[in-house]
């Protein structure tokens, strides 16, 4: 968990000579605990014979109040202003994101959870590479942070720390 926290804190640090904001530090710490929690508790849920579909439904139900309170349907309103191509891309992106999460949960059930979680955590590296490919400006701390988060998540997956 400490390694995850360290990586997320490094990612949130803006290397412009200013200090960390308390808010970005707090969110980094909260995210680290949530990542560690879902790694551990997905494994516990699967051991208790909870199905991937049930985990998916619970995830969607628990996220709905947050989305409704914070977005107030802005996403649906924004979709109306999109062109057909933009609507298609947004809809397909949403379907693929949900599908990948559901497939991950199915993979957790049919494989060893540690292996499935470790494979899922490779997405951190792919995100970094994609960011570099589209010329996103990443500083050294962010790159090191992503690598540290990846190491921490893989360690959590294999060792359950």
- Read off the pTM: 0.56
Here the tokens at position 9 are 């804190």
Cα distances (angstroms) measured from residue 55 to each of 14, 76, 94, 98, 107: 35, 25, 18, 12, 13
Alpha-carbon gap, residue 125 to 141, rounded angstroms: 15
Closest by CA to 30, choosing from 55, 59, 5, 3, is 5
Which pLDDT does position 161 carry in this prediction? 44
61-87 residue pLDDT tens: 888 887 777 766 777 777 778 888 888
Least confident of 8-12, 42-46, 65-69, 81-85: 8-12
Unique residue bearing structure tokens 């949530």 = 34
């Amino acid at each position: 968990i400490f390694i995850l926290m360290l990586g997320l804190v490094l990612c949130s640090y803006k290397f412009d000579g200013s200090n960390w904001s308390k808010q970005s530090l707090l969110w980094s710490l909260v995210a680290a605990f949530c990542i560690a929690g879902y790694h551990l508790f997905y494994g516990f849920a699967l051991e208790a014979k909870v199905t991937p579909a049930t985990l998916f439904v619970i995830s969607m139900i628990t996220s709905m109040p947050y989305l409704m309170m914070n977005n107030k349907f802005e996403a649906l309103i924004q979709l109306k202003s999109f062109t057909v191509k933009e609507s298609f891309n947004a809809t397909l992106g949403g379907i693929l994101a949900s599908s990948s999460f559901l497939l991950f949960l199915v993979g957790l059930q049919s494989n060893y959870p540690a292996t499935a979680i470790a494979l899922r955590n490779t997405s951190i590296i792919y995100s970094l590479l994609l960011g570099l490919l589209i010329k996103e400006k990443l500083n050294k701390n962010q790159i090191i942070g992503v690598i540290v988060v990846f190491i921490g998540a893989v360690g959590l997956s294999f060792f359950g720390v």
